[in-house]
A and B are shown apart, each in its own frame.
Chain A
Amino acid sequence: VSRWAPWLVALGVPLHAAHIVVSSLVWHVCPVEGIHFAMSVVSMLAALTYVIARSRFRIDVVGAFVAPLALTFLLASRFVGIAGAPKLRSAILPFHVASNLLGVALFTLAFASAVAYLVQERHLKRKDLHGVFERLPPLDALDRAEHRFLVAGFPLLTIGIVTGTLWAHEVEAGGASEIARAAFGYASWGLFGLVLLLRAAAGWRGRRAAYGTIAGFGFTVIVLVLYLVRDATTAAALATAVKP
């Protein structure tokens, strides 16, 4: 199974990409618009990055976390809410969405590496060198992979945050969920920044960096969930508005 799994993921990526392209043509939806499509793209990107980074970082096992996450994102994009909510068009929007998507994909991988790191670290501290310990990659490889994914994802998230802020100014949206989304977005940006800063300045590696990464990723997920909920509620509002 372990031999075939990465190849299955590798096979899934082009299929998924093809699906995204075809359905965007069919539905006339730009892939970078609307959270449902976006989530689908995130899961595809995460899987793609994993496939590329797999052999370089010796982190095969991260796929065990990435694959289910990608699937969750994909399913979320299918079943939560209805796609095709009205869009507020802006020149900034594609930048905002694209950089955030790539960023989230990279953070997904960083998160997966961090979880694997914590599992491995716990085994080593407990001196239990069997079971899952034997299958996970070496400790320092996981730590390094997590760091690199963060370093790659952080500038993208920064662009996403900046464009998001500019865009919010443009459209003057100010709902509660909008504010919450922005707050969690800033929080995840701050956390990831802190993780990177502390690692560089104070040598915060390993366990602490892993916890920071997981927390940062948690905030990112909250932002995504808020998007999903928004789309669902707007869709519902639209539906009730249309009925009479």
Chain B
Amino acid sequence: VILVVGLSHRTAPVDVRERLSAGAETLTTVLSRLAARPELSEVMFLSTCNRVEVIAMAPDDGVDAALRAIREELSSHGGLSGEAELSPYLYETRGDQAVLHVFRVAASLDSMVLGEPQILGQVKGAHDAAVAAGALKGKLGRCLTRAFAVAKRVRTETAIGAGNVSIASVAVDLAAHVFADLSDHAVLLLGAGEMAEAAARSLSRGAHALRICNRSFDRAAALAREMHASAVPWDGLESELVQADVVVASTGSQTPVVTRPMVKRVMKARRGRILLFVDIAVPRNVEPAVHDIDNVYVYNVDDLEHEVARGLQARHAERDAAEKIVSAEVAQFLAWSRGLDVQPTLVAMRAKARALLFAELERTLAGRLRHLPEGDRAALHQMLESVLNKWLHAPTTKLRARAADGDAGGELAETVRFLFDLPQMTAAREGERATNGDGGEGEEEDERLPH
């Protein structure tokens, strides 16, 4: 059964989350410790800034032990004294609910910013790390790869990732609607505060140049080194405005830094070239009247946040459609995975029938039919093979169909094992053997799950 134990922005404050999160190096350590636990047959460790989760596979009769093992590893990883300290923040899901959770997380339906695209990459990273550590090899691995496909489907079939939901992305989108190609335009960052940094960073990605102008030149120079930009002195502001095409303003000034008369002069020197101000400072750095000058556009924090709110609203409107896709996919995955549970029974049934038939055949061929030439022997083999297939076709398909519908506790499979006197095995071992062993049949099963 699949288990999820973790905490997220919904259940834990940031100081708890950061204690449990894992970087590239700590990830391998915690992953190998988790993988070494005998209670878990497969395991994966997902760590993002908003969530820390252990996704694992455990035998049906060992769920409680597995959960305990995960909690132990989590609290020792976070350097916590005991489980009690952690338990108020943890959530646990298992079985069908765990599959639903994994699919929803990958599809960004459980993210702080609904539909944000990073989470899928983060889940993929965690998956790859677990695969590299050899901790993901069976049904859980398939659950994850399925989750990626579902996330992609959600993204293409709904508008859950559409619209801009951050100030920076709104600013970039706005600039793209004003300038066809930012690569021949320069971006000027006014003020070296954190606020403008994100917007300037994403804007400057495609820009020809990024300049930073700050009252304290040292601060500007420091930030410029960090962002591969150039720092310019504060007195040169007006001439910088002539050069730049997009200006991101975020100084802490109480009065406007950029005034209407100043921009009037600047526009004359620019010979009317378009100038876009993104003013995310409060109080505003750019006089509102600047917006009325020809070929000058001023967007302040309210304008941008209005767009952000609009984007979020649009995403929330898509939530239902996305949830519908996810639950349909979960049902399909569960049906496939239940089908997997009867696989060992099917294999055993076939093996037993085959062994019986061919033992009898060999005996007859060694005795009364000794005189038969090689060609006739091959024909008899072929005939028995065909009888076997035809005879077992109906029980095989019926058993699979019943399992996919959720054969309660594998009742029918149990009956088959009883009737044919097949070896008894626990459902858990079955699942494991089905995914690890008998390659041919397993692959055939795989094809039934849409990729």
A residues at B contact (CB < 8 Å): 58, 120, 124-125, 127, 129-130, 133-134, 137-141, 143-144, 199, 202-208
Q: How far is the CA of A137 from the CA of B180 in the complex (A)?
A: 8
* Given A140-B274, A205-B272, CB of A58 within 8 Å of CB of B295: no
In the complex, the answer to whether B272 meets A206 with C-beta atoms within 8 Å is: yes
How far apart are A4's CB and chain B's nearest CB, in angstroms?
Answer: 21
Q: Which among B174, B177, B270, B274 has the greatest number of chain A C-beta atoms within 10 A? A: B177
User: Interface on chain A toward B: helix, strand, loop, or mixed SS?
Assistant: helix
Q: Which 3 A-B pairs have the closest CB atoms?
A: A203-B271, A203-B272, A141-B180
In the complex, the answer to whether A129 meets B307 with C-beta atoms within 8 Å is: yes
Inter-chain contacts of A120 with B (CB < 8 A)? 177
In the complex, the answer to whether A133 meets B295 with C-beta atoms within 8 Å is: no
* Given A129-B307, A139-B274, A203-B270, CB of A58 within 8 Å of CB of B291: no
Inter-chain contacts of A204 with B (CB < 8 A)? 272
- B405 adjacent to chain A (CB < 8 Å): no
Q: How far is the CA of A93 from the CA of B173 in the complex (A)?
A: 51
Indicate with 1 or 0, residue by residue over B409-425, a CB within 8 angstroms of chain A CB atoms: 00000000000000000
Inter-chain contacts of B180 with A (CB < 8 A)? 58, 137-138, 140-141, 144
- B176 adjacent to chain A (CB < 8 Å): yes
How many A-B pairs fall under 8 Å by CB? 54
- What interface size band does chain B fall in? 20 to 34
* Given A139-B274, A140-B274, CB of A125 within 8 Å of CB of B297: yes
In the complex, the answer to whether B294 meets A208 with C-beta atoms within 8 Å is: yes
Indicate with 1 or 0, residue by residue over B265-295, a CB within 8 angstroms of chain A CB atoms: 0001011111000000000000000010011
- B222 adjacent to chain A (CB < 8 Å): no
Given contacts A206-B294, A206-B295, A208-B294, 8 further A-B contacts (CB under 8 A): A120-B177, A124-B177, A125-B291, A125-B297, A129-B174, A138-B177, A141-B180, A206-B274
* Given A205-B295, A206-B294, CB of A139 within 8 Å of CB of B270: no
Q: How far is the CA of A80 from the CA of B295 in the complex (A)?
A: 41
Q: How far is the CA of A130 from the CA of B307 in the complex (A)?
A: 10
Q: How far is the CA of A101 from the CA of B310 in the complex (A)?
A: 47
Indicate with 1 or 0, residue by residue over B158-195, a CB within 8 angstroms of chain A CB atoms: 00000000000000011011111000000000000000
Q: Which among A130, A137, A139, A208 has the greatest number of chain B C-beta atoms within 10 A? A: A139
Inter-chain contacts of B174 with A (CB < 8 A)? 129
Q: How far is the CA of A183 from the CA of B173 in the complex (A)?
A: 46
- B92 adjacent to chain A (CB < 8 Å): no
How far apart are B404's CB and chain A's nearest CB, in angstroms?
Answer: 40
Q: How far is the CA of A139 from the CA of B246 in the complex (A)?
A: 14
Q: How far is the CA of A194 from the CA of B273 in the complex (A)?
A: 18
- B299 adjacent to chain A (CB < 8 Å): yes
- B446 adjacent to chain A (CB < 8 Å): no
Inter-chain contacts of B360 with A (CB < 8 A)? none
- B303 adjacent to chain A (CB < 8 Å): yes
* Given A127-B299, A127-B303, CB of A207 within 8 Å of CB of B177: no
Indicate with 1 or 0, residue by residue over B365-389, a CB within 8 angstroms of chain A CB atoms: 0000000000000000000000000
Chain B: CB-nearest residue to A133:
B177
Inter-chain contacts of A130 with B (CB < 8 A)? 310
Q: How far is the CA of A207 from the CA of B173 in the complex (A)?
A: 22
Q: Which among A125, A140, A143, A204 has the greatest number of chain B C-beta atoms within 10 A? A: A140
Q: How far is the CA of A120 from the CA of B307 in the complex (A)?
A: 17
CB within 8 A of A140: which of B178, B294, B307, B310? B178
Inter-chain contacts of B271 with A (CB < 8 A)? 202-203, 205
Inter-chain contacts of A134 with B (CB < 8 A)? 177
Inter-chain contacts of B176 with A (CB < 8 A)? 138
Chain A: CB-nearest residue to B299:
A127
Q: How far is the CA of A41 from the CA of B116 in the complex (A)?
A: 52
Q: How far is the CA of A197 from the CA of B270 in the complex (A)?
A: 17
Q: How far is the CA of A6 from the CA of B169 in the complex (A)?
A: 30
How far apart are A177's CB and chain B's nearest CB, in angstroms?
Answer: 39
What are 22 inter-chain pairs, A to B, with CB distance below 8 A? A58-B180, A120-B177, A124-B178, A124-B297, A129-B174, A137-B180, A138-B176, A139-B177, A139-B178, A139-B179, A139-B274, A140-B179, A140-B180, A140-B274, A141-B180, A199-B272, A202-B271, A203-B272, A205-B273, A205-B274, A206-B272, A207-B294
